[in-house]
């Protein structure tokens, strides 16, 4: 078994869609980034790559490459899964936390779990997603951005 950790931050801005775990969430602001800026999926990918000893998503999918502009992060996760499969890894489980002041994410979490689990080829019970505010403190509290943490266990 191999364990990995991922952490990511994206800035909130107007005129962008808010996409978390592949779910488009109605909100006045969205996350800024080269891809769809899905901060949850990015943290999950970094946890998976970390567990496999494969560095991080910045090296797997450079943001200088126009191929990744606006790309769905679920497609990037699909590629991460190919990299893992080629090296003989499968996903044991993933646990992730989104840090966001607003909006309330609870109604969308079951679909985020289903999306991530489908791409990872595991049942949704093996992909836990949580959301918390940081009590109006810091950059997430000021609604300047969102962050996500993830840990992943891989089986070899």
Nearer to Mg ion, 42 or 149 (CB): 42
Integer Cα distance of 99 and 139 in angstroms = 10
Is 8 a binder of Mg ion (CB under 5 A)?
yes
Nearer to Mg ion, 8 or 77 (CB): 8
Nearer to Mg ion, 42 or 113 (CB): 42
Integer Cα distance of 144 and 85 in angstroms = 37
> Minimum CB separation from Mg ion for residue 8, in Å?
4
Integer Cα distance of 38 and 62 in angstroms = 15
Name the residue with the smallest CB distance to Mg ion: 42
- Are the C-beta atoms of residues 22 and 15 closer than 8 Å to each other? no
Integer Cα distance of 80 and 118 in angstroms = 13
Interface positions, 30-59, toward Mg ion (CB under 5 A): 42
Query: What tokens appear for 56 in the block?
Result: 């991080």
Nearer to Mg ion, 55 or 124 (CB): 55
Integer Cα distance of 27 and 33 in angstroms = 17
> Minimum CB separation from Mg ion for residue 88, in Å?
27
> Minimum CB separation from Mg ion for residue 38, in Å?
8
Binding residues vs Mg ion (CB under 5 A) = 8, 42
């Amino acid at each position: 078994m191999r364990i990995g950790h991922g952490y990511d931050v994206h800035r909130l801005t107007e005129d962008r869609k808010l996409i978390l775990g592949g779910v488009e969430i109605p909100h006045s602001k969205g996350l800024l980034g080269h891809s769809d800026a899905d901060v949850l999926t990015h943290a999950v990918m970094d946890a998976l790559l970390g567990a496999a000893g494969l560095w991080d998503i910045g090296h797997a999918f450079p943001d200088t490459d126009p191929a990744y502009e606006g790309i769905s992060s679920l497609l990037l996760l699909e590629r991460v899964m190919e990299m893992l499969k080629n090296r003989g890894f499968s996903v044991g489980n993933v646990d992730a936390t989104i840090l966001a002041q607003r909006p309330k994410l609870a109604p969308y979490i079951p679909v985020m779990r289903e999306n991530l689990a489908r791409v990872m080829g595991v049942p949704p019970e093996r992909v836990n997603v949580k959301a918390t505010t940081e009590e109006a403190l810091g950059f997430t509290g000021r609604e300047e951005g969102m962050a996500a943490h993830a840990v992943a266990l891989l089986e070899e």
